[in-house]
A and B are shown apart, each in its own frame.
Chain A
């Protein structure tokens, strides 16, 4: 399901977001949390990119900047306008007209199906809200459009749902409503922020299948934010692994999962449960918990927890993310330019066994 014409739907370059810590009234804050620190990636039209990482690594912040819920501290985000086929610079979207144009192109699906809907509005109001805000269509047209969408997301027959309140629906049904709301403007690009993580496992798969189906039907490009590699594997063409505000490894899903190069990715993979009682889990001696990215030192972000760290890792700055063959990007000093491992041999064998 690779991109048809090869052009990028979304291009992010050196994206940064720094949150100041305790800003005083007269004192300028000197400490910043580097939530996102120089993230670059491209998503091709019709492709979906999975953004994977543990809590607090900046994946949600990245998604929020893409839909302009947060403003980037630095860097650029370009998103292709579906109609004019021009790249919109998200950081330059300021006037109301530009905002409207932008919102037509980019939507977001939120994690929490219980909190992401106003409890005082009916399903019709919730799904039709983008249309109302952007002043599209008459009330009858909106009603028809909402009914079409509800049918599309598998709430059939749609009519009884129209004038229900969110609290009358189950979690899965609500997430379908959230998907319908995100798609009502027919956006080309949707940021999905862990849309299935709050759902029951039994419902999760149907929601994921629905999202894939809609992506194919409507040509939607997803940025799929998740902490679950299995979900990312099911949903995404490519996966980017984030650690403390940086992308440490990025590549086509199967390539990345079959051949993980960065120690962090390998640790993540070794933590995925395997449905086999006789399976022996390989050990990765990752130390400590995730650090806070407050004014981080220039060396490799993973240094403090990396079991393979050598002298070079301590003295050099954070490694560059570059292609190690077959579109597999890795940021690690111990991985050679064609993907070979220069670290401790024993650990590699153990990890790959």
Chain B
């Protein structure tokens, strides 16, 4: 027999049984690969923070259905995020003139009181429904200017935000990976076509495009997700993935696979795509960030056909004139605004940490 060189230092595992099903072996390999990558990921504090934020929002999204089956929140007429209505009533003592109002929280002059209690005179008590109502009275985060529960809206919208992000990210990954790999593999005019298309998409201002789209077309959340996915997938992400695919394409293992008899599709989808995929996942994270913030922008302009979303909560505050009131009506602005920012940041942080896993050059050690 031929002289045998030494084994590498790694321990030779006990002989695997041939009878062991192939899928179980693959599952175990995938698991050990995941564990290895997790170790690298876990070294990054920012990534863990991002993951924590995402998990928090997942819990928030799960909290909505749970919350609605429990206690007072079962009441759909009060706690429904879209059609619920509840306005805690506050009593005001009516005095003669404005000058006599000593405590504006409990007193009101007769002239102003005509708005709510027509015909009221000094000495009467006028009951005014509070809209928006501050936190309290069974509404953890108060109610919005239309008397709807903010907490309910916030948790309800989380699910929509995740759905939007997921759709956008999946569409981006599929489109960008395919376009990038095919452009890199075939080169020539196919490459030129997709890369010029990408330049074009990059040149187009995203928000105005989406504004025009929403005018021409009824844009719902899933459609918005697909739109963002396509624009991002044919745009910058495709260019990045193409350059990665280009560096994979010239590796000798592509030639080896070709000599084995692999067709072009085999080479692209079995050899190039798996080597590009880690980078795709990274860009998937950034797309989620983009989608969540774009949704907020478009909803804020009132251009999306959605029942309730974080952006729409801000829009309600704006159209009712509460946007520039500072922090007096903070519960109208802070929860939704912070939610958009945090979720977008969470995915971005995870993306950054994944970048370091995928890209050893960025690792600090």
Task: Pick from B2, B13, B255: contact of A69, CB below 8 A.
Answer: B255
Within 8 A of A (CB), among B5-25: 5-8, 10, 12-16, 18, 22, 25
Interface 1/0s, chain A 151-181, versus B by CB < 8 A? 0001011011011000011101100001001
User: Is A197's beta carbon under 8 Å from chain B?
Assistant: no
Q: Is the CB of B259 within 8 A of A103?
A: yes
CB distance from A330 to the nearest CB of B (A): 33
Q: Contact at A133–B2, with CB atoms within 8 Å?
A: no
At the interface, yes or no: B205 with Cβ under 8 Å from chain A?
Answer: no
CA distance A69 to B259 in the complex (A): 7
Query: Do A103 and B252 have beta carbons less than 8 Å apart?
Result: no
- At the interface, yes or no: A296 with Cβ under 8 Å from chain B? no
A213, CB-defined interface residue at 8 Å: yes
B259 touches A115 (CB 8 A): no
A185 to B259 Cα, complex, angstroms: 11
Query: Known: A118-B271, A120-B275. Contact between A206 and B253, CB under 8 A?
Result: no
How far, in whole Å, are A203 and B263 apart by their CA atoms in the complex?
Answer: 34
Min C-beta distance of A152 to chain B, whole Å: 10
Q: Is A42 an interface residue (CB 8 A)?
A: no
Extra A-B contacts (16), CB below 8 Å, given A64-B255, A118-B275: A69-B255, A69-B259, A104-B261, A116-B255, A120-B275, A122-B29, A129-B262, A133-B261, A133-B262, A143-B18, A144-B18, A147-B18, A154-B1, A157-B15, A160-B13, A181-B256
Report how far A206 CA is from B6 CA in the complex, Å: 12
User: Do A172 and B5 contact each other (CB < 8 Å), given the known contacts A133-B262, A159-B15, A160-B15?
Assistant: yes
- Type the 1/0 row for A302-338, where 1 means its CB is closer than 8 Å to any CB of B: 0000000000000000000000000000000000000
Cα of A154 to Cα of B274 in the assembled complex, Å: 30
Q: In the complex, are the beta carbons of A129 and B16 less than 8 A apart?
A: no
In the complex, whether B69 has a CB less than 8 A from a CB of chain A is: no
Q: Give B238 Cβ to nearest chain A Cβ, in Å.
A: 21
Contacts known (A112-B252, A169-B8); A118 close to B257, Cβ less than 8 A: yes
Size of the A side of the interface (Cβ < 8 Å), in residues, is 52
> Of residues 208 to 238 in A, which have CB atoms within 8 Å of B's CB atoms?
209-210, 213
Q: Is the CB of A129 within 8 A of B257?
A: yes
| Residue A264 lies at the interface, judged by CB distance under 8 Å to chain B | no
- Give min CB distance, A206 to chain B, whole Å: 5
The 4 closest A-B pairs by CB, nearest first: A103-B261, A130-B260, A116-B252, A154-B2
Which residues on B sit within 8 Å (CB–CB) of A147?
A: 18
B residues at A contact (CB < 8 Å): 1-8, 10, 12-16, 18, 22, 25, 29, 251-253, 255-263, 266, 271, 274-275
Decide: A209 and B2 in contact? CB cutoff 8 A: yes
Q: Decide if A13 is an interface residue (CB 8 Å cutoff).
A: no
Contacts of A210 in B (CB 8 A): 2
* Cβ of A293 under 8 Å from chain B: no
Whether the Cβ atoms of A181 and B260 lie closer than 8 Å is yes
Q: Which residue of A lies closest to B256 (CB)?
A: A116
Report A-chain residues with C-beta under 8 Å of the C-beta of B3: 206, 209
Which residues from A are CB-within-8-Å of B18? 140, 143-144, 147, 159
Query: Which residues of the partner chain B approach A253 to less than 8 Å between Cβ atoms?
Result: none
30 A–B contacts, CB within 8 A, in A order: A64-B255, A69-B255, A69-B258, A69-B259, A103-B261, A107-B259, A108-B255, A108-B256, A108-B259, A110-B256, A115-B253, A116-B255, A116-B256, A118-B253, A118-B275, A129-B260, A133-B257, A133-B260, A140-B18, A143-B18, A159-B16, A159-B18, A160-B12, A160-B13, A160-B15, A162-B16, A163-B16, A163-B25, A163-B29, A209-B2
* Complex Cα gap A157–B18 (Å): 13
Tell me if A259 counts as interface (CB < 8 A to partner B): no
| A120-162 to B contact mask, C-beta < 8 Å, 1/0 | 1110000001100110000110011001000000101101101
Cβ–Cβ < 8 Å partners of B261 in chain A: 99-100, 103-104, 130, 133-134
* Assembled-state Cα–Cα distance A107/B260 (Å): 7
A1, chain B: closest CB distance, angstroms: 19
CB-CB < 8 A to A162: which residues of B?
A: 16
B6 surroundings in chain A (CB, below 8 A): 170
Nearest B-chain residue to A69, judged by Cβ: B255
Q: Which B-chain residue is minimally distant from A163 (CB atoms)?
A: B25
Instruction: Provide the A165-207 mask, 1 if CB < 8 A to any CB of B, else 0.
Output: 0001110110000100100010000000000000000110010
CB A201 to nearest CB in B, in angstroms, measures 12
Residues of A within 8 A of B4 (CB): 154, 156, 206
Q: Does A119 sit within 8 A of B, measured CB to CB?
A: yes
> In the docked arrangement, what's the CA distance between A202 and B3, Å?
10
Q: In the complex, which residue of chain A has the Cβ closest to the Cβ of B28? A: A163
Name the distance in Å between A324's Cβ and chain B's nearest Cβ.
36
A78-117 interface (Cβ within 8 A of B): 96, 99-100, 103-104, 106-108, 110-112, 115-117
Which of chain B's residues has its CB closest to A202's CB?
B5
| A116-B2 contact in complex given A129-B262, A133-B261, A160-B13, C-beta closer than 8 Å | no
Instruction: Answer yes or no: A67 CB below 8 A from chain B CBs.
Output: yes
Checking A118, A130, A140 against B274 with a beta-carbon cut-off of 8 angstroms, the contacting residue is A118
